[in-house]
Amino acid sequence: MNVRSLIPVGRDRGLTSREYMPFAALHREMERLFEDFTRGWPTLTRGWPAMGTTAETMPSMDVVETEREIEVTAELPGLTEKDVKVNVADNVLTISGEKKAEKEEKDKNYRVFERSYGSFLRTLELPDGVNPDNIKATLTNGVLKVTVPKPAPAQAKKVEVKAAA
């Protein structure tokens, strides 16, 4: 007797599920329908930032942690130092800014408009004990680099217990 003959297979020759899920196919079809309908539209980001900011205006970020520091790198093409704000409050690093259109030309009939303009806001929670005065930020060729020195590890201190007098 061949063991393979005992394994049920579907039309696509893949293994079938033993569990019957009556709404799974409907759910998949509805997801596909919405994906097809919204394909090509700018997507709204979830949570932060404010409504109306599209994914195209959100900068890509890399966060790297080394032994001594946390390095945040964000792509901000076309922005200058005066267009970007970096703030730290309550152990939350906030990078915000706005990319503005250079000028508006009403006499042109645009067929394709791929550059995006608007404001953005990205936040990152920092570890406890970070000194905001030691954080450095530089913007070079459209790449923002924020260096956050890590705090010294907390040292446990033994407290001597004395008898009450």
| Every domain of the chain and the residues it spans | 55-103+114-149
The answer to whether the CB of 94 falls within 8 A of the CB of 88 is yes
**Joined tokens for residue 140:** 């070079």
CATH 2.60.40.790 fits 55-103+114-149, yes or no: yes
Digit-coded pLDDT (tens) for 41-73: 555 444 344 444 445 567 888 999 998 999 999
Q: What is the dihedral of CA 48, 53, 54, 59, to 10 degrees?
A: -70
Distance CA 92, CA 125 (A): 4
pTM: predicted TM-score of the whole model, two decimal places: 0.56
* pLDDT value at residue 109: 72
* pLDDT value at residue 42: 52
Question: Count of alpha carbons within 13 Å of 141, Cβ hemisphere only?
Answer: 0
